[in-house]
Structure formats: structure tokens, C-alpha cells
Amino acid sequence: MRIAIDAMGGDHAPEEIIKGALEARQALDGDDELQLIGPPDVLEAQLRTLGAGPDIVQIVPADEVIGMDDPPVESLRRKRKSSIAVMARLAAHGETDAVLSAGNTGACVAACQLRMRTLPGVHRPGIAAVLPTLGGPVTMCDVGANVSCKPINLYQYAVMSCVYARRLLNIEQPRVAIMSIGEEEAKGNELVRRTRELLRADPELNFVGNVEGRDIFDGVCDVVICEGFVGNVILKLTEGLVDMVFRAIKQELIAGNLRLAMEFKPIITEIYKKYDYHEYGGALLLGANGTAIICHGSSKSRTIKNAILVAKKFHTLKINERIVARLAQCLVKPNGQ
Amino acid sequence: MRIAIDAMGGDHAPEEIIKGALEARQALDGDDELQLIGPPDVLEAQLRTLGAGPDIVQIVPADEVIGMDDPPVESLRRKRKSSIAVMARLAAHGETDAVLSAGNTGACVAACQLRMRTLPGVHRPGIAAVLPTLGGPVTMCDVGANVSCKPINLYQYAVMSCVYARRLLNIEQPRVAIMSIGEEEAKGNELVRRTRELLRADPELNFVGNVEGRDIFDGVCDVVICEGFVGNVILKLTEGLVDMVFRAIKQELIAGNLRLAMEFKPIITEIYKKYDYHEYGGALLLGANGTAIICHGSSKSRTIKNAILVAKKFHTLKINERIVARLAQCLVKPNGQ
């Protein structure tokens, strides 16, 4: 298969992106093809620095770059030769089988939605991120593609995330929960209450009810659905908070006991390794008509490598075909909402 | 002043509540009066067990209890003799100066809203919780009273939280941020965009723009405003996540190095102490026409004691009077929205 990579996206582009691509290259099959998108001179120079031959990856020219903080839609319109725009066009024209970027998330989502369109039956795509927890991986959708959701969107995120969790994370009957602010039926907002009716009406879903913020990490569910605004807040809060806790420990250790601090370091490293979301290599844009992976802006080579392997797996396991088949059987339809 | 305490609310009621009241009693002035609400026989027995004389607190009879998971509004209607209902009535009839409960949050908020009404000029009350962070305490409002906010609600939460942070936390010019999903102006949802206009229009507010989940703990702002749904998710996620990180460390330590685990224990205790939200003793229902404090359901005596002292400070510093005066000067009015 062919995988197109935005070599200019992310805080550590292009070096770490290209490094990650080269690392993935070793794990892929001989007939898999990696397409690096960016200014050819920059990419060629970087490949040379990393000691890679020119034939190991294909270079797809794109002379412009959308900055991490540029306004998404406006930038896409203005920079038609940007790596993100070129990447989405490759997918739209059938010139690649999967796309991947650690660049401006908003621009990425917009480009994929606009160019790749949605799978048959899908109302709006959603970003599915996998959170590592003590109870195992939890798939959360949406974490930022769809800021204001309708009940049908959340319902479809549940259906798609279940296919994803079953096939990619090997969870046979994923337990689906909806993010709310109380476990009782009556609690939550209008969106939660209306979505719950749809979830409950689908006998194929293993719907376990409301889940609160504190429960996500407790192993009570495998899939959590929420509006993009809430999901994105959760994702970023999780990052910031874990970071703060470890910094607090560090401060305390350094102030009090330097030997203990040294002894404690490998423990922290071990925990970071076990609960590292980089392991899951980026988030899938579920519902896009193709395979699209959005990586964290801070991605280093390992994340990019893992994301490329996830793209391969997602494509090989025909997850999109399974999503389409599953949605076709659903009694809940977009037009019904 | 008189402080009414729902002695039957919370996971550890009545024992820890009454203990907390007795601890606070020692720190209060001689003419302050504590009113414990609950079934007299239960409270008297508990007071005896704790070795307290019958004259140290006043007992206000309430024979029913609203359970932690009971449906709030329905329970209030059904249980007119519940400790929460009696508590709110005391406030409404001017028979107390402050109320406090660790019971069913929804029922508490509903009872206070219904009975105490709002301060002049306030559209809807919001719960303000103080989060301890590396950058100092951050006041977040609303964390669950108002699930679906209008821009005017969020704007008033900003104004009220600033008065609170200035007077109670001694932050001279509190930096106000709105919770969003990107730092750019264009990002966020409709509510965020419209609220930002109101915040910017008020020259008295030190408005610093959007804040993302990861930034809250980084000392970039002193006040964060958000819709009750989002704030409640954040509050509970914070709890669950911190708990998960410490459990992960414990698991790792116990599996690898028991001596290190023992040495590490006091460090954890120290951190817990420093960043313990119990220190702030519950959350204020800002905008209620009176002093109303909502404590966490898991509150133990120390939280209750601190909450009682916060109630005293809030009342003594005349924070509500200052809020009313401040709102009267605002050009942004409820009717304008």
C-alpha cells in the first residue's frame, strides 16, 4: 500500500517525521510505498543527513507549509501548495491509500473532510484517540473534529469506534459509554440525553450508560463518546495534568532527597513507557473516506513510526469497509435526526 | 454569624461532618453559631460519641435525607423535611447567614437556587471551585450548576470569580481565561466566541484569552470560566487522573522495589498535602443571594472544617456585596443578551 506523510507538519518537522518514516520503512513490506510530502530540496537534504538513499521513499513536492497556529480554513484556501493540501489531494485522486500528518490539526481535519469526503452513510467524521489507562486502552471520539455535535454524530462515533476497538485493539464486545456529569439517567445535557436514546435503540452496541471524568481511567468502558469540544479539553487536560503531577514529584524529590530522586527516575520512565499515548501513534479520523491519521504536534520519530504502522493495519484490516457495512445495518439514520 | 450545616450529606455523614463542625468551632469566634441539620436523635448520639456537650452547637431538626444518587429536583419536591430542604429554608427565612452541604450536589444547587434566589443583577449562579496548581490556586466557574450556559452567564461568572479570587485568594488583578480548544481567536465553539466579545468589552476584567486543558496547571491564569458541563468533566477528570497516576506509581514501586516504595511514601503525602483541593474546603455557589458552600461528597472532617472557615471569610469580607456593586457597574446586562 501507499502511505503519504506530511513531512513538514509538527514541532519537530521535518527531521523527526522523516526519521519516523525511515524507521517504519524497515517494518513495512517490500511493496509498501512511503510518500514524503514537502519541498524536495529540504527533504532530500534531510534524507542525506540521515544516510538514506533517494530511492527508499518517494518525494511528492509541496512548496508551502501551514504553520501550527495558522487559521485552518483560511490557510488551506490561501496555501494550495501546502503539504497538507497536497496530502489531501493525493488521497482524493486515489494516488495514495493513507495519509498522515502531525501538522495543524484543524487544517488537517478540514483538508481531509473537504477532499476525501465521508464514508457512505457517515454524517460527520470524528477523531478517535486512544487513551492508555490502568484498565487498558480506551478509545475516545470525538477529540476535536466536530465541535458542536448532533445526537446522530455521537451515535455514529460510537458505532465506528466499536469497529475500531474490536479490530485494532482486539476488544471483542467494546463497552460504550457516553461522557456525562453524573451516572444517573436524568443527568447531563440535552445532547447527552438525546444521544442516549439512540445508543440504547441499537441492540448491537454494548452500551453501559453515562461515564464521569473520574471513571475513564478505571476500566469501566472501552469506548467513550463525547462532543469534540469536550473531548479535546479532556485530551489536553490529561496531558497537562500528568505532566504537572510528575513535575510536582520531581520538585519534591529534588528539594528533599537527591538520591531518592535518582532511584525514582527509572520508575517514572517505566510508567511513561507503559502509559505513553505515543505508543498508539496518533488518532484516526473515523468516517473519512480513506485512512487519515492525525498525530500530535509534538510527535517524535517513534510516534510517526507507530502511526504509519497503525495506518497500515487500519487499511489492511479493511476497517472502513466494516464501518460502512455496520452503518448500513443500523436502524438509526442521519435523515432520521 | 450563624452557619447552617447539612449534617446528613456526604459519604461520611454524619460522623465526619459533625467532627469537622466541632473542629471549626474551636477556630471560630465565641458569638459565631453552628447549626447542625438532621434527625436530632442521630445528631445528639453522634455528639455524645465525640464527647461534645449539647450546648456547643444548635440542632435544627430534619427527619429526611436525600441520598447521594437520588434525582435532585424530584427528591426535593418529595422530601420537604430533608436536611438539604431545611437548610435552604433557613437561608431563605433569614434564620442563618451561610449554608454548607457535602450531600447530593444537584439537590443542593437546586434548593439554594429555588429558596435563596440570586443576587440582584445575577442571571444564574455558578459553582466556583479552586484547583491547586504549580502556578498557584486557579478558580474555575462553573463546575456543574449550569449545564448549558449563555454568554451572559459565563461573563458574570468571570466577574464574580474575579471578586472572589481578589478578596479570598488575595490575587490583586486576576487573569481571566476562557476554556477553549485552541489559543487562537477563531477556535472554540459559538458560546466561546460570543462570550469572548463580552469579556473583551469590559475594561475592568484582566482578560487573557483562550486557555487549553493543558495550560490550566501552568500558571497562565487565575480564573477559568466554562460551561457547567465542561467544568464538571474537568473537575472529575482531574480527580480520577491524579488518582490513576499515583496508583500507577504505587504498582510500579511495589512490583519493583519495596524499600523504595516505603521511602517514597512521605513524598506522596507531601504532594497530596500541597495540592490537596480539600484545603480549599468546598466550592462556592457564586451568585446565590447568600453564602452557600458545596463540599465534595467524599469530604472528611478537615474539608468540612475548612469549608466552614471559608464561609465565615466569604461572609465577613462581604464578597456578595462587592459582587452586587461590581455587577451594577457592568455595561453588559442580562437583558442585553
Q: How far is A251 from chain B (nearest CA, A)?
A: 10
Fold of B1-122+287-317: Isopropylmalate Dehydrogenase (3.40.718)
Cell, residue B160: 464574580
Distance CA A102, CA A105 (A): 7
Q: Collect all residues of chain B within an 8 Å Cβ-Cβ radius of residue A216.
A: 237, 240
For chain A, residues classed under CATH 3.40.718.10 are 1-122+287-317, 124-281
Distance CA A311, CA B50 (A): 64
Q: How far is B65 from chain A (nearest CA, A)?
A: 18
pTM score: 0.91
Our measurement of the distance from residue B285's CA atom to the centroid of its chain's CA atoms, rounded to an integer in Å, reads: 6
Hey, which CATH number is domain B124-279, 3.30.70.3000, 3.40.50.1820, 3.40.718.10, 3.40.640.10? 3.40.718.10
Contacting residues for A42 by C-beta, under 8 A, at least 6 apart: A8, A14
For chain B, residues classed under CATH 3.40.718.10 are 1-122+287-317, 124-279
Q: Which residue on chain A is closest to B214 by alpha carbon?
A: A240
B-interface mutation test, from A241, A254, A258, A272, most B Cβ less than 10 A away: A241
Query: Measuring CA to CA, which residue among B128, B102, B99 is closest to residue B114?
Result: B99
- Homologous superfamily (CATH) for A124-281: Isopropylmalate Dehydrogenase (3.40.718.10)
Sort residue B290 into left (φ over 0), alpha (ψ -120 to 50) or beta: left
Contacting residues for B331 by C-beta, under 8 A, at least 6 apart: B201, B202
Q: What is the ipTM of this complex?
A: 0.89
Our measurement of the distance from residue B113's CA atom to the centroid of its chain's CA atoms, rounded to an integer in Å, reads: 15
Cβ <8 Å between B214 and A239: yes
Distance CA A149, CA A226 (A): 8
Tens place of pLDDT for every residue, chain A, 337 residues?
999 999 999 999 999 999 999 999 999 999 999 999 999 999 999 999 999 977 899 999 999 999 998 888 899 999 999 999 999 999 999 999 999 999 999 999 999 999 999 999 999 999 999 998 888 999 999 999 998 899 999 999 999 999 999 999 999 999 999 999 876 666 778 899 999 999 999 999 999 999 998 888 888 999 999 999 999 999 999 988 888 888 888 888 888 778 888 888 888 888 877 777 677 778 999 999 999 999 999 899 999 999 999 999 999 999 999 999 999 998 777 654 4
Cell, residue B285: 455557589
Cell, residue B16: 465526619
CB A266 within 8 A of CB A294: no
State the burial class of residue B188 (Cβ atoms within 10 Å of its Cβ: 0-12, 13-18, 19+).
buried
Cβ <8 Å between A179 and B233: yes
Label each residue of chain A as H, E or C.
CEEEEECCCCCCCCHHHHHHHHHHHHHCCCCCEEEEEECHHHHHHHHHHCCCCCCCCEEEECCECCCCCCCHHHHHHHCCCEHHHHHHHHHHCCCCCEEEECCCHHHHHHHHHHHHCECCCCCCCEEEEEECCCCCCEEEECCCCCCCCCHHHHHHHHHHHHHHHHHHCCCCCCEEEEECCCCCCCCCCHHHHHHHHHHHHCCCCEEEEEECHHHHHHCCCCEEECCHHHHHHHHHHHHHHHHHHHHHHHHHHHHHCHHHHHHHHHHHHHHHHHCCHHHHCCEEEECECCEEEECCCCCCHHHHHHHHHHHHHHHHCCHHHHHHHHHHHCCCCHHHC
Distance CA B16, CA B25 (A): 14
Tell me how far apart the terminal alpha carbons of chain B are, to the nearest angstrom.
Answer: 37
